[in-house]
Amino acid sequence: MSEIKPTDPAATNAGEEKDWAAAKAFFDSLKTRKPRPPKPQYAVTIAVSSRTLFNMVAERKIYEEEGVEKYVTFQQEHENEPLMPGVAFPLVKALMTVNSRLRQLYPDSEELFDIVLMTNNHAQVGVRLINSINHYDLTIERFCMTGGKSPIGYLKAYMTNLYLSKDGEKVTEAIEEGIAAATMFASGDVENQLSDTQLKVAFDGDAVLFSDESEIIVKQHGLDTFFEHEKEFENKPLAQGPLKCFLEALGKLQRKFYAKNERMTCPIRTYLVTARSAASSGARVLKTLRSWGLEIDEALFLAGAPKGPLLQKIRPHIFFDDQMFHIEGAKELGTIAAHVPYGIGQKYHKGELIEQPVKDKK
């Protein structure tokens, strides 16, 4: 009988690496007319839930009233019927428009938006989701379907820059994990009113781009103390908020257009829409952005005036704010709004404390 010789671990590892390199080279050499997703380490990854991408109100009702088995059966029976567009649909189309422009200027670049469908749906529902994505010719190749479990644990693995959902608890969980996230709200049929050539993103300032440190002073000590504080610390940058990193990612892509002398025709435009007063507290905000090396295309200081009318003029694909009364005001006038559940503002509504602090027991 011939003797079985021991395997050399080093030789095995080298062989596996060679096989992997060969497989990767073969995959990269495959040609397709459909744009392929960029490598995650270079991309700006936007993870959207199935209920933000598509209108699944009727399906959700079946799930809540009849249970998961009836829900899955319904989805399978209707898998050849495309789902209707949801609140994040216009945003996804705008992201694809930016990618198209980037590919024209940088054919070999991997610095693009990558859209991931992040859902706790069961895999059996995946066929209808895939059919719907193909029906609308959306470029979404990466899926994460967790079969009823929370998908939040996968966000970092997918290198997510922004997570959008209709589930406020999951969004809060994502923010606690250090991931930019927001809860999206429907605002009627506004898709036809939005730009199809330029992605427009509007941000609140405090507790969104910046921390809530200044907002705490407003809530606890009033405006006069706030104005004095902002003047005293005008040259001290604010700490970053939960969506600072997303603005940073947008800025990285904007600079690729600027490098090609396309600043005036850049398909990404950003807005700061803040309740702050410009003269009394605006300088610190602008100096903070400058210290971060970030630009904002338009800065609107409203000095406490309603944000809805200005947003109605801007017509952003998404507007981020930490306070629900601003979200509600935006929705009423047709703006797609996304709530960022972060900071002291979650304890207030229209200036009134809604959550009493817990007193220490003696």
For 109-135, how does the pLDDT look when each residue is reduced to its tens digit (9 = 90+)? 999 999 999 998 889 999 999 999 999
Task: Output the pLDDT for position 157.
Answer: 93
Task: Output the pLDDT for position 5.
Answer: 47
Tell me the pairing of strands 337-339 and 268-274. Answer: unpaired
Task: Output the pLDDT for position 38.
Answer: 84
Torsion of CA 2, 8, 9, 11, to 10 degrees: -120
Angstrom distance (rounded) from CA 92 to CA 167: 19
Query: Residue 301: helix, strand or coil by DSSP?
Result: strand
The pLDDT averaged over each successive group of 10 residues in the chain (362 residues) is 51 65 65 74 95 93 92 94 95 97 94 95 92 95 91 94 96 95 81 85 96 87 88 92 97 97 96 92 93 96 93 96 93 94 77 54 42
Query: Residue 360: helix, strand or coil by DSSP?
Result: coil
Reported residue count of the chain is 362
Q: Cα 28 to the chain's mean position, in Å?
A: 29
Task: Output the pLDDT for position 167.
Answer: 95
Task: Output the pLDDT for position 70.
Answer: 93
Angstrom distance (rounded) from CA 117 to CA 82: 16
Angstrom distance (rounded) from CA 200 to CA 98: 11
Angstrom distance (rounded) from CA 133 to CA 89: 10
Interval 310-348: pLDDT, tens: 999 999 999 999 999 999 999 998 999 999 999 887 876
Nearest to 277 by CA among 300, 293, 252, 253: 300
Q: Which of 114, 204, 206, 212 is catalytic?
A: 204
Query: Residue 265: helix, strand or coil by DSSP?
Result: coil
Q: Say if CB 139 and CB 99 are below 8 A apart.
A: yes
Task: Output the pLDDT for position 230.
Answer: 86
Task: Output the pLDDT for position 191.
Answer: 54
Q: What is the largest CA-CA distance in the chain?
A: 93
Task: Output the pLDDT for position 93.
Answer: 96
The total of other beta-carbon atoms located within 10 Å of residue 308's CB is 19
Residue 206: active-site member:
no
